[in-house]
Every structure is written in C-alpha cells, then in structure tokens.
Amino acid sequence: MNSFLDKIQTLVGPEGLLIEGNIEGSTQRATDGWGAQECLAPAIIRPANTAELSEVMKLCHESGQKVVTHGGCTNMTRGCAAGEDELVISLERMTTIEAIDTTNRTMIVQAGVPLQVVQENADANDLFFALDLGARGTATIGGNIATNAGGNQVIRYGMTREQVLGLEVVLADGRILSSMNQMLKNNAGYDLKHLFIGSEGTLGIITRAVLRLRPKMPVCTSALVATDQFSNMAKLLNHMEKSLGGKLSAFETMWQSYYAIACRTKPMSNHMSSHTSNDMGKPPLPDNHPLYILIEATGAHQESDSEQFLQALDTALSESLITDAVLAESGQQQQAMWAIRDNIPALMSYQPMVLFDISLPISEMESYLEEMQKNLSAISNNLFVGILGHLGDGNLHVAVQLNEDSTARKEAVEHAVYAPLQNRGGSISGEHGIGLEKKPYLHFSRNKTEIDVMRQLKQLFDPKRILNCDKVID
C-alpha cells in the first residue's frame, strides 16, 4: 500500500493525501449523519480538481484499488463506510463556485461545495436554489446529487434531479465524462446525467455540476398547525395546495411522539444546520396534539400572499381540518419552527434505533402505519416510534427504538417496517438511498428485471467494481 500511496502523492501533492497517523485523527472521521461509523480506510485522497482525480482513478483502475467517495458524510445509509482495503476520495478541496449566470439562471460548481453555500450564493444574486435539508451546512452538492436528495421543498420544485442541468463525472477508469449542459431542454440522445444522479457513487464520481436556479420569492409565510386525525392531514394538504394556487413550498408533518421529543431536546451544537437554535424555548404549540404540520408558502406579494395564507388557514379551521394553529410572525419564529422539524438528532437518545425513510401513496399511509405498528408491537410493546416526514411527497421518516442491541432485533424491526410496503406499492427509500444499510431489502421495492439492469449498468461503468464496492447492489 505504501508504494501505491507514494504514487498517489506525486499526483495530488502533500495536501491531497491524508495518511493514517500523519495528521492526528485525520482518517478517523465519521462516515454518516449519525457520526457513528468510523472510517477504516488507511488514507484519504483529496484531489484539488477534476484532472487530478482523473489521474488518481486511472492509477486505482490499473491496480484494482477500491475507493469510496466522501462528500459531507451526512448520509443515513452507511454510504460512506470504508473498509481497511479501501481508499477514501474526498471532494473537500473542490469547493469552488465557478460561475453564476443570472440571465440563464444557472450556477456552475465543484462537487465539494456545501449545500448551504450554494443556497447563500444564489440568494446573494437574487436567485434561489430549490433544495433544502437539515444537513445543509455540511452536506455537499456532489453528495446531494449522488443521493438525489429530497428535502423540504420537493412538493413545489421536485427532487435534486430537477435542479441539475449538467454534470461532469470521473469514471472508474479515470475518463472524464463532461456533460455540462446548461439548457432546460436537450433531447440529443440519452441524457446521461440521470444515470449518475441517485447512483450513490457506484457508477462514477461527480466532480462538477450545472445547477438550475429559480427566481427568489421574497415573501415566505409559515405556520405550525395541529390536527387530530390522519385523514384531516391528507385533506388539509389538498386544501392548502388548491387555496394557495401553486405557492405551497413545504408541508412537513410530525407525529406527536417526534414533536414532543424534538421540542424538549436542545439541538446538538453541530455545524449541520443553519436553522439550529440553541434555545428551544417554549414550543410554538403545546405537545399534546396527535399530529403537527409545518406549512410554508412562498410568493412575491407580501400583503396578498399573507391574506391568501390566512384565509386558507381560516377555512381549514372552520372545516375542522385543523384544531390549533400558530403563524410565524418573524424570521426568528420561522427558524424556531424549522429547528423543531430539523431536530432529528434529538432521536439519538433512543439509540440503538433505526431511522427508516419509506415512501408510499398518501392514500395507503394510514393503513400502512397501523399494520407497521401492529408488527412492531408483536416484537415488543414498548418500542418508541417517532414519525415525521414530507407528507406531500408521500415520504415518511420512521424512527424505531430497538431496545436491544442485537442483529436479530434490528432485522425483526426492519421486516416489520418494510413488509407492509410491498402490497401497497411503497418504497424502502424515499430519499436517503440504499448504501449498505438497506441493500438486503432492495428487492422489496425493485423487481428482478430492475435489479438485473442495475447490475448490467454497474458492470458497464465499473467492471472492476472499484467504486463504492458492494453498496446499493451486490
């Protein structure tokens, strides 16, 4: 390994290579959003640009050296876990915003730029990048693209895939596939970028991207509301979408079990989220309602937007779709509401636990949750179950306490959650992806032909299986 690393060092220079022991703790980094998995790789390669990475991959390909790509390592699927025989490729030095074009509303970035930096730069140019998630301060745009991240605004703008116009990718053999399209429309043959979006680093390493920006909506109206039944929540979603005429930008749901713990727990002081508030203070609504929804609308006209929003809430109240509501009257109050929604790390106190990221048609959700809860009670009747999610996208995050640190318990809980998805057309992953964590259950959501074609694609792009080996599919 040492002579191989010497060759790498000549390609990337001393700053481009961290070897175990040469900088204290340098290779001992966490590899997922929980910070739980350690990196066992003996070295971290940190190329400064695409050309360097291309040379590194040529060398790795020649020698069959396996690599694992790291963005911000905020994934929830052990997607960045690296073994002792693997090397990490980290995009942490590729953090340049190369161009912002306000006429075409595009931004060209290197893949290591943190999501929040993309958002802030769009904002400074009176534009808007339509992806947002709790780990925005640490997650990178390359990682967002590799996972086709969802987040809080999918209901209005779609997933990451919808925000990407072009990509540059270094392939397993070191070739640079440049597909830096800048147009909304381009049907000249296959649109190759889509193969890499959501492929979790198994088909290529994303190095640069052309991002689609949107006009900035200066007015943002938010409210936290409570309701007593799931069916009312589903009706409320339709009501708000219709009443707000396309302005609904978030419809984030929290079940009481999650809301109560998120309000009570001070957010961990980490660098992930800009919504994190150190003082949770008094919750915006008392924590004894069965269901909570954070509703947000964005538009261009302060007075008429607020009026429309209030009118919609008023109707919802009078039709008993909601039982309580509080309107955010300042940016600070908006942040406080989002801090509760984003306080997923509060669930850490229930470790060992599993955080699921399922999706299914909204019409199936209530019966699904009943069946899931029944399955879980059959395992043990006092497991904590915290539920929150992006209801408008049919995507729920379900945190289940294991109460017992054993593989058998974890597998029993996974089956309890995944099995009822199968006959409801659900998916084991709405947005977090598969990584290592969900690989054994891929067949719950994808049929044999789909998995066969995935394997054929992997064989085509990475015949030596050196990229994120054994992640997503075997």
Give the binding site for ligand FAD (CB under 6 A).
Answer: 33, 68-76, 79-80, 91, 111, 133-135, 139-140, 142-144, 146-147, 149-151, 200-201, 205-206, 272, 344, 431-432, 435, 468, 471
Cα Rg of the chain, angstroms: 22
243: left (phi over 0), alpha (psi -120 to 50) or beta: alpha
Q: Which is nearer to ligand FAD, 264 or 271 (CB)?
A: 271
Q: Which is nearer to ligand FAD, 75 or 232 (CB)?
A: 75
CB of 301 to ligand FAD, least distance (A): 29
Cα–Cα separations (whole angstroms), residue 136 to 12, 102, 140, 398, 472: 28, 23, 8, 21, 24
Q: Which is nearer to ligand FAD, 27 or 232 (CB)?
A: 27
Q: Give CA–CA dist 424/241, Å, rounded.
A: 25
CB of 226 to ligand FAD, least distance (A): 22
CB of 43 to ligand FAD, least distance (A): 16
CB of 160 to ligand FAD, least distance (A): 7
CB of 70 to ligand FAD, least distance (A): 5
Q: Which is nearer to ligand FAD, 163 or 232 (CB)?
A: 163
Q: Which is nearer to ligand FAD, 152 or 232 (CB)?
A: 152
Q: Which is nearer to ligand FAD, 57 or 325 (CB)?
A: 57
Burial of 21 (0-12, 13-18, 19+ CB in 10 A): exposed
Contact 205, 57 (CB under 8 A): yes
Q: Give CA–CA dist 349/372, Å, rounded.
A: 22
Q: Which two tokens stand for residue 122?
A: 């769009």
CB of 428 to ligand FAD, least distance (A): 14
Residues 6+ apart with CB under 8 A from 281: 336
**Does 352 sit behind a cis peptide bond, omega within 30 degrees of 0 on the bond before it?**
yes
CB of 19 to ligand FAD, least distance (A): 20
Q: Which residue is nearest to ligand FAD (CB)?
A: 143
Q: Which is nearer to ligand FAD, 414 or 437 (CB)?
A: 437
Total count of residues recorded for the chain? 474
Q: Give CA–CA dist 204/200, Å, rounded.
A: 9
Q: Give CA–CA dist 240/213, Å, rounded.
A: 25
